[in-house]
Structure 1
C-alpha cells in the first residue's frame, strides 16, 4: 500500500454510507472527477511544509469515497502535465524532497522531472543553518539535493538572481570562499569582505543589526565570514521576498526607496564578487 493511501486511512474510524451512493455510478464518478480536478484539464497537487499531500475535501467525507476518488490522484501523480505547489518552511527542504522521492519511486517518474514541475513558496523565518545545509548539499550532490523552482524578484540589471543561483547567490559565494580557502588565500577574501560590509553600513540598511562601520576592520576573520554569509542570506530572504510584498502597499516614495535599497545592495554584492574574481585570476 502506498504512503499516500496510508496517510489518509487514519482519518476514518468507520465506513459511514454517503448519500452520494444513492446516485448512479456514472453520475457519481463525474462528481468525483469534478471535485478532484475542479474543471481543469491538469491537476495541481498541493504539498504542505511537512511534506504531506493536501487531498481535495471530498476525499475526507468517508473512507469509501476516498478509495473511489484516490484513483484520480494516483493517475494524476503519473501524469506529466500535473504540477505541484509546495511550501518550504525555514528553508528546510527535507520534507518536500522526501515526498518527491517517494512519488518518484511509486510512479516511476524521474525525480528530476518531478522537481522541475514543483513550484516552491517559502514560508516562515529564515533558518540560516538549514539554508546552509541545503546549499552545501546542492554543491556536493545537486541531483540528491536539488533546488526547486520558485518565484524570483526582477530587479533592474539583476533579473533572476536568487539565493541559489547567479553571481549574487549565497551558493556562488560559498563556492568562492571554499576556493580561496583551498588555496590558502583567505586573507584576500577577508580584505574584500570587510570592504563589502563597510559599504553596506554607509547606507544604514539595517541588514547587519547593530551598526559597526569601521569596526569591521577590528572584527575577527570568523566574524567577518559569518556576517557576509548572513548578509547574503538575509538580503535574499527579506529584501527579495518580504520587501516585495510590502512594496505593493507602500506609497510611491516608499516603493522607490525600497527599490533603490534593492539595487544598492545588489550592486555592492556584485562589486564584492567582481573583486574576488579579479583576485582569483591572478592565481592562473
Structure 2
C-alpha cells in the first residue's frame, strides 16, 4: 500500500504538488495521467525518494519512507522509465539480474528468474540474453527495462512514461504483457503517462493530475461517465468520451449470452472497440462471442451504441 498524506513539493517559487492526499491499495494498477508539468512524475519519484517532499508524508505499508534506509527502500521497489537506463557494458541477462544480485539471490534462482522474464516479456529471440543493449531495438530495450524492474519480485513498481517513445504496435504489445504480468503477480504498480487511452487501458483506477493536484480519481468508467467538472470532461475526451468507452468495456460485459450469430467470433475479453473493428472488417452487424474456445453468446452493433453498454 502506498499513501500520500498532504504532500507538498515546490521547486523554487513554483508549487509542483499542492497538499495532495491519495491511497493506492495493494495489488492495484494505479495510473497518474495529466499534461506536462502537472506534477505526476514528481509525485511518483517521491515514493523512492528520488524527490524529497517539503511537507506531508509518503508511506509504504504504513511506514513513513523518510525514516527508512534509502538503499533498502529502493531495492524493494521496481523502477522503469522512458529512457530505459540499461547498463551498456552489461548483457541483457546481467541487466535483468542487477537487483537480485544486490540482494544476494543464489545464482540458480537468478538464472531461473531471468529466463522466466525473458519468456513473459517475449524476449525469446535466440541468444538475446547474451547481447548488449546497443544491439537491441527500442522495443526490446524497453522490455529489458521492464524485466529489470520486475526481476526481484518487488511488491511495488514505479513506471514513469515507460512506453512513451515506442511505436504504437510495440507499445500496445508491451501494455498487454505488463497488464498480464501484473495481474498474475499481484504487484502494486504506480504508472505515469500523459496518454489518456493508455491510462484507461491499463488502470484499475486513474488519477487525473492538473496544476499539482488531483482533479479526480476513479475507475476509467467513472471518469468517462461522471467527470467532476469541465476540465476533467475536456481532458477525458469531451464529446469523444463515448469512443474511449468502447476501448474500456469488454465484449463480455455487453454481449447477449446464449444467443448465436454467423461470422468469425470475437473473444469475450476483447474490447468493444475490437468488436466494432471486427464487424467493420467482416461487414456484419452481429458476431458470435467465444470464451476459452467455446461459444457463449453474440454481440450486435446496437449493443455498442446503447448508453448502458
TM (norm. structure 2) is 0.27
Relative CO higher for 1 or 2, CA cutoff 8 Å, sep ≥ 6? 2
Structure showing the higher strand proportion among its residues: 2
TM (norm. structure 1) is 0.28
